[in-house]
Chains A and B, each alone.
Chain A
Amino acid sequence: MLNSVWIIVALPALSFVIILFFGKRLPKHGAEVAITAVAASFIGSCWAAVEWIDRVNASEHAAGIAGFFGKGMMPSDSAQGGVEPVVNSLTWWQSGGIDFGVGTYVDGLTVMMVFVVTLISLLVHIYSTGYMHDDKRYTWYYAGLSLFTASMLTLVVASGTLQMLVGWELVGFCSFMLIGFWWEDRENSRAAIKAFLTTRTGDIGLIIGIIILFTAVGTFNIAGTNAYALQGANNHDILLIASICLLIGIMGKSGQFPLHTWLPDAMAGPTPVSALIHAATMVVAGVYLGARLYPVFYEGFSISNGGINMMALVGGITILVGASLAFVQRDIKKVLAYSTISQLGYMVMALGVGAWVAAVFHLFTHAIFKALLFLGAGSVSHGGTHHSFDMREMGGLRKKMPITFWTFIIGSLALAGIFPLAGFWSKDEILVNAGSQGFELFLIIGLVGAFLTAAYMTRCVYLTFFGEYRGKHHPHESERSITTPLIILAGLAIVGGMINAAPLGIKKFTEWVEPTTNFPKVVHAEFDVPLAVISVSIAMLAIGVMSYFMFRREELTKFKGLTQRNRLARSGYTLLERKYYLDYLYENVIVEGIRTPIARAMYWFNQTVIDGLVNFLGRGAVRVGRFAYENIDQRGIDRAINASANEIGAAGGVLQRVQSGSVQRYALYIFAAVGVMSVALFVLSVS
């Protein structure tokens, strides 16, 4: 299976084509094809995962390094052989003597990602049969999901950066189509365009970064690129520029500050889409890119030196920005969207502080519990509020929707990082690595982020499930197709973190996923009990404080209207409500600036200056022509000819009078002439 991973990719692609052409005529309008294909892909990915684990185990036994990941700070050694990735590729096209390959690059990271993508995609497919049941573009929806799954898998299994770029753009396109799924409403298509353009802005960086690496390395190959990056310090400048460019790409796709603003707006799409694309898979494509080309970033940003680097800084800022904005949202999906931004910040920061395994592990757990939360929110709106996500219309759904409630609670606790749920293990691993490798600043940011995360989730849970029901409908539990995925994901959110539960001595995730060839010598920090206790306590404290505020709301009148009374509080609130004015900056200043004055000015320039010049030249030529015609041709040359004729005529007229036939006149002339001549003779003889 490891050699034929392409089948996993091809199945959803095939399903897309089938649905596109025959979907409407099928009995279930295409859903059955899509689900079958993605289920088959899921089975294939499980199979691949098992084979990969076998391969890892076999190689470890063969190398006799079973205790490789023992106690203490132990570097993984790239020189020690390790598990080679399975690479298959064929020439896609050739140009100018360069081969461009397409293929599959399968290692632990790939297998993990393929597993996550197909798993979440399968659950979302099933969930959507209930959630999207009455939609008029049901068939089309499944076509979109299939295409997305295929594109995402293309990106994940890519053997080269060019193929990654192809997948990357395609998932962006699918995201665009699915955000704008209900395009009748102009707001939705606006959000879709915003998402596409923002990620495309990031893609400038990605494209340039890929090109720089390609030119330096001479191939798009991932293995080759990573090997090149690890070669030595002589190429540090190239790597630094390349990694900055790639980081810009990551910012766009993975919603990192300051290009994160599209993600909350992307919630305009259907909720299962938000779960799949904007929480679990597509948005982590950036993190995946960072993990896939980690040697480039590791060397480029000199991560081994500690301190502050751009990648960690971007991640850190994103954590705080995302978490703080999650507080002021009224829309449950937007809370989750900002939470996603914040969690993606954790992943990028983890990459930035050298905690590769922690980042990827957090990607894994986050995909599970965030998909769970989104699907839960969808269930709430489906059964509880009739397609509204406004938390002011919710409340008190705890009793009415028990399954949704409990699974949502599990997801929230996992997100908040409460022991022993999935989020705890991964978040803790990030923090402990940041703390132990000279990135203290980011440890603090991480802890602050943990506090904020727990707090806003408490608010969200309270507003949705506790208190009195504030809507106007009759809430009921959602149907089976919706709750089943929730239960499965909740189960995974509980146990999923255990595969890398360090204090229990389980490091399976590290073993299976971390590359052992072409990989920098990253340090693995050991589990730190005090730190874990601190982070969990912080989260508990946040939950406690927040619950106190929420449940005792009525008694806390002195806080009521605080934002109206206190100037500082008000300005802080406004700042958050306006999303740090970033949207204003992008939409009103940059986009409007380009679209309205600059584009208009350009067009004006075109019409007035260039076209004006052309018209001027044209008109000038016409005028010169007319002038030439009228003055030179008609008046000048023609005149001259006419004139000479006329003059001759006129002269003839004059002479005609001389030729009078009157002899006396002739005689007069003769005498006059004689007179004139004699005078002339006289004058001449005198002088």
Chain B
Amino acid sequence: MTFFDEWALPLAVFIPLVGMAVVLLIPRAQETAIKAAALVTALATLGVGVGILTQFNYGRSGALQFSVNVPWIDVINSRFHMGVDGISLPLLILSMLIVPLCIIYSWNHFPEPHNPKAFLALILLLEVGMTGTFVAQDLILFFIFFEIVLLPMFFMIGVWGGPNREYASIKFFLFTLFGSVLMLVAFLALFFLSKEQTFDMVKLSEFGGSGIAHGTQLLIFGGMFLGFAIKVPMFPFHTWLPDAHTEAPTVGSVLLAAILLKLGTYGFIRIALPVLPDAAEVWAPWIGLLAVIGIIYGALCCLAQRDMKRLIAFSSVSHMGFVMLAIATLTSFGINAAVFGMVAHGLITGLLFFVAGSVQERYHTREMSRLGGLLTQAPKMGWILGFAAMASLGLPGLAGFWGEFPAILSAYDPAKLASGLFDTSNLVTFRSFMIVAAVGTVLAAGYLLWMLQRVAFGSPPPEFEDAHIHDVHTSEWVAWAPIMFLIVLLGVVPGILFSVTDAPATAIAKVFGG
């Protein structure tokens, strides 16, 4: 055990916290120092992330690495247990990457009411929550990090948001809090009913719910389901998302789409499935049903949008539907597809929100009927928007395809369960889902291209004909280039991600015979 092995994860989680403290200590007038401190913190965290990437033993990506396991709250037998495996790693690195990019992006244009000090402090606090959630291996620890995330996001929307920010922020907060409370109840039930009173996720996964009555298992899973499904968000718990996205400042939307939504799906894979496999088998067809409803429903809602950011928000509902469908198949192939879909969606939708934010900053509107001709006025930004839209609709060669196609493929061959929905076999159920999901890809192409046509193609409307529209700024280039690079890289060599997630996914799916 080297120093780094032991300290990598606590460092990754708490460097942002220290950075936040530093940011708070610097007087408000010294903006540059504040920004520099925040950026250095985020980059240092990313540096730890790179260190983890290099030191990670890819041969045994199924096992927990960089583990820290010390007593924490003895009274309730809760331990400070952290670790990464192949499923946590990509998401951990993704969140570490997106945060500095967000700080760079907002370098010169903080949303009103400005106040970079508070804004950056909140972003760093958010990073604590995000990284912590992905490495926590103890339910209480997980829950704390899961909840930490709420607070900065609430303020980000509520303070720096759009005109309807108060409604949106409160809706976001209450919705998620409602879910997490039920989740906490489920965790407590697990604690008390399991063979051993523990919050340790590894141990609970080993128990696999043995010793808990079947009906109780279903209820506990239901509690966790609500907590995670609201975060994902799954139909019909998704309505906080469009409001939150529409009102949030650009960076808030990016973080929300890129990372926060993944907390829910990650929770399903990491906690809900392994801890209560029997209940998962019963719930799976229903989760699949909600997922495909979400795919079609989100896509149709996209087509009715006039607001660009709202459209992208609904597209998240649709895309996360693919991820949830893949998870619901309970196969290793499906879980791999889900993790890939999560990473791809994080990158792509993050980029889309970045571009949408920049468009709004330049035109002061997101109303698609008023926009047009972005390609003539800011050609580079127009092409980046086109690139992101193409990636989002699942063009092979870009990352989105490898989240979407394997998800559909996995639905053709789900785990062999006792029964599916409505007295049909699981196979029939999921194959029907597959067809619906495939239709969803066409709708996705429809709304994204429609948005592209509205915003980028054509000639500028008279309103903006003479407006001076600056093409991509340097800070935007720096923020976007890594994302675009990763989208292409993952699209061309999907193996680099699949090889990492394969072992843990296989381990999780083994219980289901997949």
Interface residues of A (CB under 8 A from B): 91-98, 165-167, 169-170, 173, 176, 180, 183-186, 189-190, 192-193, 196-197, 200-201, 203-204, 207-208, 211-212, 214-215, 591, 594-595, 598-600, 602-604, 606, 610-611, 614, 618
Contact = CB atoms under 8 A, between A and B. Distances in A.
A94 B304 contact: no
B301 A603 contact: yes
Given A173-B395, A599-B300, A618 B174 contact: yes
B336 A193 contact: no
B304 A96 contact: no
B437 to A, nearest CB: 10
Interface string B483-507: 0000000000111001100100110
Interface in B419-477: 434-435, 438-439, 441-443, 445-446, 449-450, 453, 456-459
Contacts of B48: none
B154 to A, nearest CB: 15
Interface string B118-158: 00000000000000000000000000000000000000000
17 contacts: A94-B499, A96-B331, A96-B502, A170-B396, A184-B458, A192-B449, A200-B441, A204-B435, A207-B438, A207-B441, A212-B412, A594-B303, A599-B304, A603-B300, A606-B239, A610-B236, A611-B239
Contacts of A595: 303-304, 446, 450
Contact of A96 (B174, B336, B449): B336
A184 B438 contact: no
B356 interface: no
Given A95-B406, A97-B506, A600 B395 contact: no
Given A599-B303, A600-B304, A93 B498 contact: yes
Contacts of B413: 215
Interface in B354-403: 373, 375-376, 390, 394-397, 401
Contact of A95 (B174, B302, B442, B502): B502
B404 to A, nearest CB: 9
Nearest to A183: B457
A212 B514 CA distance: 18
Given A166-B397, A169-B395, A598 B336 contact: no
Interface band, chain B: 35 or more
Nearest to A151: B397
B469 to A, nearest CB: 16
B458 A96 contact: no
A534 B179 CA distance: 77
A184 B337 contact: no
A165 B402 CA distance: 12
Interface in B300-316: 300-305
B395 A193 contact: no
B405 interface: yes
Interface in B70-122: none
B159 interface: no
B493 to A, nearest CB: 8
B332 interface: yes
A437 B494 CA distance: 47
B408 interface: yes
Question: Nearest 7 CB-CB pairs, A to B?
Answer: A96-B333, A93-B495, A603-B304, A599-B303, A166-B396, A602-B300, A96-B332
Contacts of B459: 184
B409 interface: yes
B196 to A, nearest CB: 32
B416 interface: no
Contact of B457 (A186, A602, A604): A186
Nearest to A205: B438
B449 A193 contact: yes
B199 interface: no
A183 B506 CA distance: 47
A516 B453 CA distance: 48
A67 B512 CA distance: 58
B171 interface: yes
B449 A196 contact: yes
B322 interface: no
Given A166-B397, A208-B434, 18 more contacts: A93-B495, A94-B498, A95-B333, A95-B498, A97-B506, A169-B394, A169-B401, A173-B390, A189-B458, A204-B439, A207-B441, A208-B412, A211-B408, A594-B300, A599-B301, A602-B297, A602-B301, A603-B305
Nearest to A176: B449
B438 A197 contact: no
Contacts of A611: 239
A94 B502 contact: yes
A595 B441 CA distance: 15
Given A96-B332, A196-B449, A603-B304, A165 B498 contact: no
A19 to B, nearest CB: 14
A614 B238 CA distance: 10
A192 B452 CA distance: 12
A183 B442 contact: no
Contacts of B435: 204, 208
A445 to B, nearest CB: 31
Most chain A CB within 10 A, of B236, B405, B409, is at B409
Contacts of B495: 91-94
Interface in B153-186: 171, 174-175
B505 A96 contact: yes
Contacts of A197: 442, 445-446, 449
Contacts of A606: 239, 297, 301
Contacts of A173: 390, 395
B401 A97 contact: no
Nearest to A184: B459
A586 B445 CA distance: 16
A97 B458 CA distance: 47
A95 B337 contact: yes
Contact of B434 (A166, A190, A211, A214): A211
A162 to B, nearest CB: 8
A15 B405 CA distance: 28
Interface string B202-246: 000000000000000000000000000000000010111000000
B395 A614 contact: no
Nearest to B243: A611
A604 B303 CA distance: 12
A215 B405 CA distance: 14
A606 B236 CA distance: 9
Nearest to B509: A96
A594 B302 CA distance: 11
Nearest to B390: A173
B5 to A, nearest CB: 27
B304 A92 contact: no
B439 A200 contact: no
Nearest to A173: B395
A618 B175 CA distance: 10
Nearest to B296: A602
A215 B412 contact: yes
A17 B332 CA distance: 35
Most chain B CB within 10 A, of A169, A185, A604, is at A169
A165 B336 CA distance: 20
Contacts of A98: 333
Contacts of B406: 95
Given A96-B336, A96-B506, A603-B305, A200 B445 contact: yes
Given A184-B376, A215-B413, A603-B305, A618 B171 contact: yes
Contacts of A196: 445, 449
Contacts of B408: 207, 211
